[in-house]
Chain A
Amino acid sequence: MSVTTHIPEDHVPEHQRAQVAQGPNWMKWLQIAGLVYLLLVAVSLIGGGFKLAAGDQAKELFAFASNPVAGLVVGTVATALIQSSSTVTSIIVGLVAGGLPVGIAIPMVMGANIGTTITNTIVSLGHVRQGEEFRRAFSAATVHDFFNLICVVIFLPLEIMFGLLEKMGAMASQWLVGGDSMSMNGFDFIKPLVKPPVKFLENTVLGGLPEAVAGTLMIALGIVTIFMVITLIGKLLKSLMVGKAKQILHSAVGRGPVSGIASGTVITVLVQSSSTTTSLVVPLAGSGVFSLRQIYPFTLGANIGTCITALLAATAVTGANAIFALQVALVHLIYNVLGVVVVYGIPWLREIPLVAAQRLADATVQNKLYAVAYIGLVFFVVPLLLIGGSNLMGI
C-alpha cells in the first residue's frame, strides 16, 4: 500500500512554488542553449541581410555615421531606447559582418556603454519618496553614468586622432586568429550550425523578393530576434544565477575594489546583462548598507562583463568580414578594460564620478526636476546637439 502525503498548496514556500511553475533547471539551461543558437543565427542574419541589401555600398549607407559623434549618438540613443547594450553591440557585430566599417562601429559601441546606464537610473527613481535613501540610490546609479561619460571624453578623441582602439582591436584579433580569416580557424564549427537557417530564409522564404527588400527584412528579423533572445536569456539567467550571484557577492564583502570589479564582471557574465548588475546594487546602496565607494568598482566590473555577448555574437560570423566582427567585439572589451585601468587607476580621475554623482544626487533630492533634466540631457538632448555641433565644425 502506498501512502501519499498531501501538502496543502498554502504550505509550500513561495520560491518553491515559483520553481515548480517555471519548470526544472535543466529545462531552462536547454532553453538558454536554444536561445544562444538563435542569437548566433540572428547575428548571421543581420550580416547576411546587410550584405544582400547594401552590397558594396555598406560604407556609403552608413556615411551619416562616419562622423564619430553621430556614431556615438546612434549607439547611445539606440541603447537607451531598447535598454540593452548587449543587444546593440550584438547588432553592431552583425552589421560589421555585413560590411559596416569598424571605424564607424567603434563610436557606436562607446555610445552603447552610455545608453545602458539609463536602466539603473530608472530603477533608482523607485526610491524617490524616501529622501536619504533616494539620494544614495540615485548617486549609486549615476556614478556609472559619469564613469562612462569620462571614458568617452578620454577615448573618443584618441580614437578620432590616432585610431587607438581600432588598432588595438586589430592587433588582438590578428593575434587570436593568427592573421587568417576566422572561418579558417577554431570557430569553423559554428558555420555549419548557423548557416542553414539563414540560407533557408534567404533562398526560400525571401527568395522571390528583390535583394534590397530581402536584405532589409533579414536585418529587421535579425534585430527583433536579438532583442527577444537577449531579453529571454536575461530572464532565465536571472532566475538560474541568483544563487551564484549571492555567493559571489558574499565572497566579495570587505575585500576591496579589485574584488568588487571582479565580482561585478563575473555576475554580469553569468546574467548576460550589465544593467541587471548595475541595477542590483541600487537598492543595496539605497539602504545605506553599502557605501557609494564600495558600489562603484562593482559597477565597473559590469562594463567588462557585458562584453561577453558581443564576443559570443562574433563567433557566429564567418567569411572575409569575420575578423572585423571579432575586432569590434574585442574593441568593446579593450575599451572597457582600458577605461577601468585609466579612470579608476588614476586617483584624481577616479574621484570625479563619485563627486559628480553625489552632487547631482544632492541637487535631485532638493528638486526632482534635476533628474528629469539629467536623463533628458545626457541621453537625448546633448547627443543631438553634439551631432549638430560636430557637423558645423566639419568633424
Chain B
Amino acid sequence: MNPKKRELESRVTELEQALQELKTQLSQIESQEQHDAIDHLDEYLQSMDNKWENVRSFWPIVLAELRELFGNKNSSGKE
C-alpha cells in the first residue's frame, strides 16, 4: 500500500477518535447543564404563578414599538 495513503488513513482514524472523544465530552457537559437546570424547577414553578406580571412587563414594550411604528410613519408623512 502507498505509505502516504496509509499515513493519511491512520491520521483520519486518529482524528475520528479525537472527534468522537470531544463529542462525548461535549455531550457530558450538556447533560450536566441540563441536570443543573432541572434542579431549579421549583423556581420555574414559582415564576409561573406570576405569569400576569409577564404580560404587564411585555405591554410597555409593545406600546413603545407601536409608538415607534406610527411615529415614524407620521414623521415620514410630514416630510
Question: Which listed segment binds A: B5-13, B14-22, B37-45?
Answer: B37-45
Q: Is the CB of A15 within 8 A of B42?
A: yes
Binds B, one of A1-9, A67-75, A278-286, A301-309: A278-286
CA distance A249 to B39 in the complex (A): 10
- How far is it, in angstroms, between the C-alpha of A123 and the C-alpha of B52 when the chains are bound? 8
In angstroms, Cα B54 to Cα A238, docked, is 20
User: B41 contacts A246, CB within 8 Å?
Assistant: yes
Cβ distance A347 to chain B, nearest Cβ, rounded Å: 23
A110-138, CB < 8 A from B: 119, 122-126, 128-129
- For chain A, residues 282 to 304, give those with C-beta under 8 angstroms from any C-beta of chain B: 282-284, 287, 289-290
**How many angstroms from the CA of A368 to the CA of B74 in the assembled complex?**
20
B65 touching A367, Cβ below 8 Å: yes
A contact patch SS:
helix
Question: Which B residues are CB-close (under 8 A) to A355?
Answer: none
Would you call A280 and B58 a contact (CB within 8 A)? no
Instruction: Tell whether A125 pairs with B35 under 8 Å between CB atoms, given A276-B48, A369-B62, A369-B65.
Output: no
Count, chain B residues at interface, CB 8 A = 29
Q: Contact check, B48 vs A280: say whether CB atoms are below 8 A apart.
A: yes
Instruction: Verify A280–B42 contact, CB threshold 8 A.
Output: no
Contact of B72 with A by CB under 8 A? no
A372 within 8 A of B: yes
Query: CB distance A368 to B58 under 8 Å?
Result: yes
Q: Which one of B30, B39, B47, B58 contacts A283 once the chains associate, using CB atoms below 8 Å? A: B47
B62, A372: Cβ atoms closer than 8 Å: yes
Given known A280-B41, A283-B47, contact A125–B27 (CB-CB < 8 A): no
Number of residues on chain A facing chain B (CB within 8 A) = 31
Q: How far is the CA of A203 from the CA of B42 in the complex (A)?
A: 46
A123→B54 contact, CB < 8 A: yes
Residues of B within 8 A of A15 (CB): 42
Q: Which residue from chain B places its CB closest to the CB of A238 in the assembled complex?
A: B45
The answer to the question of B1 belonging to the interface, with a C-beta cut-off of 8 Å to chain A, is no
Chain B residues in 8 Å Cβ range of A184: none
Given contact pairs A129-B57, A253-B34, enumerate 8 new A-B contacts (beta carbons under 8 Å): A126-B47, A253-B35, A254-B31, A280-B48, A282-B44, A289-B30, A289-B36, A371-B62
